[in-house]
A and B are shown apart, each in its own frame.
Chain A
C-alpha cells in the first residue's frame, strides 16, 4: 500500500514537472498564437492581455498586403524539390559508402560532414557572386540547389547508417539470384530501407522549410519563401507585433502540422543505429 502510494506520488511529481517544462518550452509559440488574434494596440499592451475579443484582421491583412500564398508556394516548391533532388543524390552515395566502401570512404564522409561545421556566412560571398553572375539571384532554382547542397551531408549520413543495418549478404543473395543493380535497389534495398528513406526525406523537408539565412540573402519578392515573408514584417515600418505574429503562425503552421503527423518517423530517423 505504502509502496504504491510512494510510487503514485513520484508519478504525479514527474507528470506535473513534464507538463510544466513542456508548457515553458511551448509558451513563446502560444504567446505568438494568441497575439496573432489581437489588434496591434492590444498586442503592445503591458501587462499582456489574455482576455480580449479575437480578430482575424491580421490574417486577412497579411494575405492582402503581401500575398501569403505566393511565399507559401515558394516554400513548398523549394523544400519538396530539394528533398527529391537530395534523395536522388544521397541514396546512391549512401549505397556506395555502405556496400562498396573504399579505403577513403570514411574520410570522404567526414569531409562532407565537416562542411556543416563551417558557418554558412563564410560561404555567402562566393555563392552570392556565383548566383549573381549566373543570373540566379532571387530564383527558386538557385534556392532549391542550395537547400539540396546544405542538406546533403546529413542525408547521406542518415541513409548510410540506415543502409549499414541491412546485412550485405541479402544484397549479395539478390545478385546471385540474377538481380541487376536496379532490381537489387528497387526490390530489396528500397523495401528494406523505406523507413529510413522516408525519415531522411521528412527531415530534409523540415530543414529546407525552416532555412532562413540563404533565403534572406539570395532572394527578395520573387523567390522568397515564408522565412523572408516573416522577416519582411519586422522592418522597415517598425514592428507590428500582431501582424508579425500572424505571419509567423502562417509560416510555421504547415510544417508544425506536418511534423506532428510524422514525428514518429522523424525521431526514428534521427536515432538510427543509436539504439539496437
Chain B
C-alpha cells in the first residue's frame, strides 16, 4: 500500500465514463506526473484527488485514511492552479497566509511561515503588493508559496506553467524541481508538456480516454513503451512507424515496427533498408531533422524523420537511403500492444 492510493476510481459525467476504474499507488515523497492528450482525463483525475470533482466509484486513501468523499478542505492537500487563482483583493502575504488564518494559527507562526516561504520563492519584496501588480511568473510563485506555507501531505499542480512564456517556463520548472528536492513532499503534477514530464517526474502516468496506458519512470516509458500510443506520445519528434510488410524478418503477429528518430540514419543506397526521397530538412543548429518519404508510402502517410547531430547536404527531392539499428526497435501487434522491444538489448 502506498501513501496515496487510488483503487478502481470512476468518474461519470452523465452517461460519459470519463475516468474508467483507475488504480494507482503513490509513495510518500514521489513526484508523479500525469500526461496525456487533451481530454484524456488527467485534470479530472487530479481534481478528483483534490476533492473538487466527486468520485463516483472506487476509493481514495491518503496516509491510511479514506478520503474518497471528504471535502477538499479536509484532505490536507494543496493545489496550484493553471490560472494561479490568487485572491485579487488580498496582498501577496494575505494570499499566502489565507489557509493558516482560516485554521486560526497563531499570528507569529503565520508571519514566520510566510517569511520562510517568501524567502524560498524570492517574493520577500512583493509581500505587500496585490496580485495585479505582479508579473505572470511572480504570480505563479505566489500560488506555489500559498501551497507550501500549509505544509500539506500532497501538492497538486494543474498545468502550472502553461500560462508562462517559454523562457519563464524553463526557469519555473527548475524551481519546482528544486523545491521538491528541498521539501521532499509528495507531488502530483498534470501537464501536456513532455519535457516537464520527463524532467520532473519520478514516475510518469500516461493517460488516454480515462484509463492508464502505462506507469513508469521517464526512461522506462521512453525505452520500453507498453504500446504504440505511449511510444508515440513520449518522445519528440514522434517515433517512426513502418508497416512490417516492408520489414524482413519481423516477428510473428507484428504489424508495425517503431524506431525512434535518433536510431535511424541516412545511409548509402546500397546499405539502405528503406529507400525514399527527402521531403524536408529542418536544420536546428545542434541537430538536423531529415524528413524522408519512403517509396512505398502513400500520400497521407507520415514521412520518416531521421535525427542526426551532423549537418547535411541533402536537399528536398534528393534520393536517400535509410537504415536503423536493430538494437533499438519496437514491434507492435494489430492492437498496438508492444510485442518485442530490443532497446538496450533487453526484450520487454
* Residue ranges of A at the interface with B (Cβ–Cβ < 8 Å): 167, 169-170, 172-180, 183, 187-188, 191-192
Are A176 and B87 neighbours in the complex by a CB distance under 8 Å?
A: no
Interface of A is mostly: helix
Chain A residues whose CB sits within 8 angstroms of the CB of B150 once the complex forms: 177
Say whether B57 faces chain A, with CB atoms less than 8 Å apart. no
* Bound form: Cα–Cα A191–B150 in Å: 23
Are A175 and B87 neighbours in the complex by a CB distance under 8 Å?
A: no
Partner of B52, one of A167, A172, A187: A172
Given A177-B146, A177-B150, A179-B102, are A188 and B87 neighbors across the interface (CB < 8 Å)?
yes
Partner of A176, one of B78, B82, B83: B78
Min CB distance B255 to A, Å, is: 44
Chain B residues whose CB sits within 8 angstroms of the CB of A183 once the complex forms: 102
Say whether B72 faces chain A, with CB atoms less than 8 Å apart. yes
Min CB distance A102 to B, Å, is: 11
Q: Closest B residue to A190 by CB, please name it.
A: B89
The number of A-B residue pairs with CB atoms under 8 Å apart is 58
Given A172-B52, A173-B79, are A178 and B85 neighbors across the interface (CB < 8 Å)?
no
* Bound form: Cα–Cα A172–B50 in Å: 10
Min CB distance A56 to B, Å, is: 49
Given A177-B98, A180-B73, are A172 and B81 neighbors across the interface (CB < 8 Å)?
yes
* Residue ranges of B at the interface with A (Cβ–Cβ < 8 Å): 50-52, 71-73, 77-79, 81-83, 85-89, 98-99, 102-103, 146, 150
Are B102 and A167 neighbours in the complex by a CB distance under 8 Å?
A: no
Q: Closest A residue to B94 by CB, please name it.
A: A187
Beyond the given pairs A173-B79, A176-B51, 14 more chain A to chain B contacts, judged by CB atoms under 8 angstroms and listed by A's residue number, are A169-B81, A170-B87, A172-B79, A172-B85, A174-B98, A175-B72, A176-B72, A176-B73, A176-B79, A177-B102, A178-B99, A188-B87, A192-B88, A192-B89
* Bound form: Cα–Cα A188–B101 in Å: 13
Chain A residues whose CB sits within 8 angstroms of the CB of B79 once the complex forms: 172-173, 176
Chain B residues whose CB sits within 8 angstroms of the CB of A174 once the complex forms: 87, 98
Chain B residues whose CB sits within 8 angstroms of the CB of A187 once the complex forms: 98
Are A179 and B87 neighbours in the complex by a CB distance under 8 Å?
A: no
- With most chain B CB atoms within 10 A of its CB, the pick from A172, A177, A188 is A177
* Bound form: Cα–Cα A141–B4 in Å: 56
Partner of A173, one of B71, B85, B103: B85
* Bound form: Cα–Cα A17–B15 in Å: 61
21 examples of A-B residue contacts, CB within 8 angstroms: A167-B83, A169-B81, A169-B83, A170-B85, A172-B72, A172-B79, A173-B86, A173-B87, A173-B146, A174-B87, A174-B98, A176-B51, A176-B52, A176-B79, A177-B78, A177-B98, A177-B146, A179-B98, A179-B102, A187-B98, A191-B89
* Bound form: Cα–Cα A192–B81 in Å: 19
Min CB distance B142 to A, Å, is: 11
* Bound form: Cα–Cα A253–B266 in Å: 90
Min CB distance B90 to A, Å, is: 8
Are B89 and A177 neighbours in the complex by a CB distance under 8 Å?
A: no
Min CB distance A172 to B, Å, is: 5
Chain B residues whose CB sits within 8 angstroms of the CB of A167 once the complex forms: 83, 85
Are A175 and B52 neighbours in the complex by a CB distance under 8 Å?
A: yes
Chain A residues whose CB sits within 8 angstroms of the CB of B82 once the complex forms: 169
Given A188-B87, A192-B89, are A177 and B81 neighbors across the interface (CB < 8 Å)?
no
Chain B residues whose CB sits within 8 angstroms of the CB of A169 once the complex forms: 81-83, 85
